[in-house]
Amino acid sequence: MDRVAVFVDAGYLFAQGSTALTGSKKARESLVLDAPKAIGLVKSVASQKAPDCSLLRVYWYDGAIGGIRPTTDQALLANLDDVKLRLGFVNSYGQQKGVDSLIVTDLIELARLNSISDAVLLSGDEDVRVGVQIAQNYGVRIHLLGITPSRGSQSNQLLQEADTTTEWGAGTIGSCLSVRQSGADETKEAVEFTTSESSLKATEEDQISAKIEASVQTFVAALTEVEIEGIVAYWRTERGVPPEFDGKMLPICRAAIGRNLERPEIKHLRTCFQQCVKDRLK
């Protein structure tokens, strides 16, 4: 039986997806991915392009922070049916490395072993073209998937090599990717609340704890359901606060108390985060 596999370059999806939605590339931490919807969308493309094939699986390629720990959305993806998470790494400049070589290696190996007859590739990088060429030599048809404007976001040579091309518009990518709304106003309100007359009567230490707690509560309340699900998935294999959320809350709480947090205060912040997430799960 013929089979189709899907290869997703997450770096391309986030970068070009945010550009399609807002007109410019957004930082990864400002974006929210609905992982199940994204997987459903690429599966739909696979069924359209290779209607007589069964799905082998979806390969999702991304960079791990420090090359070790997955983010919450990566942890959520890894636990979805039919998905295999493949991680490169993110360097000190925030650049994704090692992903293209993983895509090329998997594409060639699956083609060489006759494991697939068709491949859907969501990527735009010229570096994966050699994998496309070799896979085609083994008889695999390559269906290139891009995000508008694909002519400006994908290598022309890659577009020419592909057997078919498909472009997602802003409406399609917007159904699985969104830009996080700033929580600055809500955080400001929380901080103002903690400095009310009743708070001023407390000790300075209590005031600081109250500000941290209010800031964390506001931050967690603004998280989407998908992000909460990702945190739960992260906790299945890791402990503590996921690094991407830790990095967001520290400056928020620093601004709330007007100085850098001390180690006991950082520990308190992280404890509050975990409790607030658990409260949302009730």
The residue count for the chain: 282
Please identify which residue in the block is written with the tokens 């967690």. 220
Sign of the alpha-carbon torsion through 28, 31, 32, 35: negative
At the second CATH level, the architecture of 3-178 is: 3-Layer(aba) Sandwich (3.40)
Q: Region 95-110: what's the mean pLDDT?
A: 86
The CB density around residue 3, as the number of other CB atoms within 10 Å, is 18
Can you give the pLDDT at residue 1?
Answer: 59
Can you give the pLDDT at residue 239?
Answer: 83
Residues whose CB falls within 8 Å of the CB of residue 76, separated by 6 or more in sequence, listed in order: 35, 226, 229, 230, 233, 234
Q: How is 238-263 classified by DSSP, letter by letter?
A: --SS-HHHHHHHHHHHHHHHTSPPPH
Q: Region 191-212: what's the mean pLDDT?
A: 64
Can you give the pLDDT at residue 224?
Answer: 87
Of 180, 146, 177, which is closest to residue 164 (Cα–Cα)?
146
Of 139, 142, 138, which is closest to residue 159 (Cα–Cα)?
142
- pLDDT tens per residue across span 203-231: 778 888 889 999 999 999 988 888 898 89
The CB density around residue 194, as the number of other CB atoms within 10 Å, is 23
Whether residue 243 has pLDDT greater than 50: yes
Q: Region 92-109: what's the mean pLDDT?
A: 80
Q: Region 225-246: what's the mean pLDDT?
A: 88
Can you give the pLDDT at residue 193?
Answer: 46
Beta bridge partners of 184: none
Can you give the pLDDT at residue 74?
Answer: 86
Question: Whole-angstrom Cα distance, residue 35 to residue 222?
Answer: 18
- Delimit the domains of the chain by residue range: 3-178, 181-281
